[in-house]
């Protein structure tokens, strides 16, 4: 069988053995919960509770502002302790609601059970919007926006991203093993939203048990298939998935809908199913806690707002002082400088690495070997973009396609000189975007 793939890429050690056989465990934390009003791309929410208010599980505490926004709900019952700007995993201070957890987890109301077969696409989108669901793969784009492409962009391919190519992370893998029928039900909801599309469940070939489970769950679903991908990083990238599965390229500066495609993450589909079928809002997510500095690596179902510190403690704490703690995986995750930040909708993993696992290598001069060019899945020249960035030549950076960089880190991983290629591209992109904002 031919394995689907894309051009370029790299093969970093996947290190999934730490948690791939660890079933999902529920974490019931007792500390204060912190809910940033900006857990998504777009306008932050406005708090709709005040200090001293008692709130319940599933009660809305953040009202979306503007068309691109996603509601925030309390995942615990308790009392609003504070509303202030507080640090988040990306390192920014964001207006947040702090709730003192009473440990009772009282629900705001009973969940509803409903059939989705008779619901129109716009009704389904409204349910998804109201639940505050975002892309759980890390981008955190509001799901209802992604599922509402322009009328002149017909969608004929819906792709569920089950690749999970980021090293260490196994949360989606465990979901496919433990909840395949619910993911399949979510797939049927997506097909109802896009009645002219074929749905692809895309999984890398290093996950044979997930392929088997999802193939069984998809039996009897018309217009759907399980597609096997070649194991390669970043196979789970949106544009790379579209090329591998649909054989299409997303034009520069355009969106997947311009190629007739919608891509969504496995856990997002699970959340969509819960919202539509049970009425459950987005309250938790599966977090992989791993790395050689963690005592007992695990996959945990964590309520949003839980402190990273409590999550690490639930995994036994550290066996050695970590030199780096990441929100997400080692390739595209963000290094955090404090464990006193909350789990948010985009927290797929917490990875703690020792100095042995994450050595701070000295950067050497470029030797023009071209390995970064071979690895770049976007067909860019990372060595050139690096030079332009270091010279602050942002016009040259843009003209050489720098804004198309997906910041996957394949170039840095392959570079024998340990050049900080992806970091310099990221900084240049931020500078370009900041300049564009200043110009309006």
| Distance separating alpha carbons of residues 336 and 339, to the nearest angstrom | 7
Same domain, 193 and 320: yes
Say yes or no: 205 and 261 in one domain.
yes
Tell whether 261 is in a known binding site.
Answer: no
Q: Residue 296 has what pLDDT? A: 98
Residue 52 belongs to some domain of the structure: no
- For helices 266-278 and 180-193, the axis angle rounded to 10 degrees is 80
* Residue 30: band (very low, low, confident or very high) from pLDDT cuts 50, 70, 90: confident
**What single DSSP character describes residue 29?**
-
The per-residue pLDDT for 432 is 94
Cα radius of gyration rounded to whole Å, the chain: 21
pLDDT tens by residue, 295-313 = 999 999 999 999 999 999 9
In a domain, 420, yes or no: yes
Q: What DSSP line would sit under 381-402, residue for residue? A: -HHHHHHHHHTT-HHHHHHTTG
* Mean predicted confidence (pLDDT) in 16-37: 96
Q: End-to-end alpha-carbon separation of the chain, Å?
A: 51
CA distance 244 to 4: 5
Helix axes 171-178, 266-278, angle to 10 degrees: 50
Q: Percentage helix, strand, coil, to 5, in the chain?
A: 30, 20, 50
pLDDT band at 201 (very low <50, low <70, confident <90, very high): very high
425 known member of a binding site: no
Tens digits of residue pLDDT in 330-371 = 999 999 999 999 999 999 999 999 999 998 889 999 999 999
Alpha carbons 288 and 314: distance in angstroms, whole number = 12
Q: Are 135 and 264 in contact (CB under 8 A)?
A: yes
Please indicate, yes or no, whether residues 375 and 352 belong to a single structural domain of this protein: no
Q: Determine if the peptide bond prior to 234 is cis (ω within 30°).
A: yes
- Does residue 350 sit within a domain? yes
Range of the domain at 229: 1-28+113-360
Q: Is residue 317 part of a domain?
A: yes
Give the mean pLDDT of 19-32.
Answer: 95
Identify whether 334 is part of a domain: yes
CB 273 within 8 A of CB 251: no
The predicted structure's pLDDT at residue 437: 84
State percent of the chain over pLDDT 70: 100
* pLDDT at site 307: 97
Q: Is 165 one of the annotated binding-site residues?
A: no
- 369 is an annotated ligand-binding site residue: yes
- Looking at the predicted structure, is the pLDDT value of residue 1 above 60? no
Among the candidates 360, 386, 419, a domain finishes at: 360
The structure tokens 């204060």 sit at 32
pLDDT band at 91 (very low <50, low <70, confident <90, very high): confident
Same domain, 354 and 397: no
Spatial contact of 299 and 284, defined as CB atoms under 8 Å apart? no
Asked if 381 and 286 sit in the same domain, the reply is no
The residues that bridge with 142 in the sheet, in sequence order, are 134
Indicate if the pLDDT at residue 328 is higher than 60.
yes
The pLDDT of residue 436 is 87
Q: Among candidates 295, 303, 264, which has minimal Cα distance to 99?
A: 303
Residue that terminates a domain, selected from 360, 385, 412: 360
Confidence band of 138 (pLDDT split at 50, 70, 90): confident
Do 6 and 130 belong together in one domain? Answer: yes
Picking from 325, 360, 395, the residue at the C-terminal end of a domain is 360
Closest C-alpha to 376, from 344, 333, 353, 409: 409
User: Strand pairing partners for 350?
Assistant: 289, 327
Per the structure, how many domains does the chain have? 2
Q: Binding residue per annotation — 140?
A: no
Helical H segments across 80-179, by residue range: 121-130, 143-146, 171-178
207 and 254 inside one domain: yes
Please give the full DSSP string across 165-217, using - where no structure is assigned.
Answer: -STT--HHHHHHHH-HHHHHHHHHHHHHHSTTPEEEEEEETT-HHHHHHHHHH
């Amino acid at each position: 069988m031919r394995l689907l793939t894309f051009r370029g890429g790299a093969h970093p050690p996947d290190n999934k053995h730490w948690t791939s056989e660890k079933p999902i465990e529920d974490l019931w934390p007792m500390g204060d919960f912190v809910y940033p009003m900006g857990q998504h791309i777009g306008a932050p929410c406005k708090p709709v509770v005040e200090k001293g208010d008692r709130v319940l599980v599933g009660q809305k505490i953040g009202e979306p502002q503007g068309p691109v926004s996603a509601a925030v709900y309390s995942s615990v019952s308790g009392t609003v302790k504070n509303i202030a700007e507080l640090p988040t995993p990306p390192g920014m201070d964001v207006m947040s609601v702090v709730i003192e957890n009473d440990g009772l987890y009282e629900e705001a109301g009973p969940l509803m059970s409903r059939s989705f077969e008779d619901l129109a696409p716009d009704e389904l989108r409204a349910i998804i919007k109201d639940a505050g669901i975002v892309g759980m793969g890390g981008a955190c784009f509001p799901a209802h926006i992604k599922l509402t492409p322009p009328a002149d962009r017909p969608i004929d391919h819906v792709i569920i991203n089950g690749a999970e190519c980021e090293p260490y992370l196994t949360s989606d893998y465990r979901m496919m093993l433990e909840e395949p029928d619910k993911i399949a039900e979510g797939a049927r909801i997506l097909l109802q939203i896009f009645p002219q599309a074929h749905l692809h469940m895309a999984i890398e070939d290093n996950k044979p048990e997930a392929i088997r489970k999802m193939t069984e769950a998809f039996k009897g679903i018309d217009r759907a298939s399980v597609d096997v991908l070649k194991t390669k990083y970043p196979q789970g990238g949106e544009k790379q998935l579209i090329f591998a599965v649909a054989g299409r390229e997303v034009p520069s500066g355009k969106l997947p809908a311009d190629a007739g495609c919608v891509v969504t993450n496995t856990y997002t589909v699970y959340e969509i199913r819960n919202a539509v079928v049970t009425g459950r809002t987005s309250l938790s997510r599966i977090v992989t806690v791993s790395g050689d500095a963690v005592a007992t690596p695990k996959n945990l179902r964590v309520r949003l707002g839980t402190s990273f510190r409590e999550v690490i403690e639930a995994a036994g704490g550290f066996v050695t002082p970590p030199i780096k703690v990441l929100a997400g995986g080692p390739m595209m995750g963000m290094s955090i400088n404090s464990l006193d930040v909350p789990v948010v909708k985009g927290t797929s993993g917490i990875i703690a690495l020792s100095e042995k696992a994450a050595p701070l290598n000295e950067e050497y001069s470029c030797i023009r070997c071209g390995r970064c060019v071979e690895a770049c899945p976007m067909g860019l020249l990372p060595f050139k973009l690096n030079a332009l960035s270091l010279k602050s030549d942002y016009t040259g950076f843009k003209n050489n396609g720098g804004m198309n960089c997906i910041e996957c880190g394949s170039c840095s991983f392959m570079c024998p000189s340990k050049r900080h290629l992806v970091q310099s591209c990221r900084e240049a992109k931020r500078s370009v975007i900041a300049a564009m904002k200043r110009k309006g």
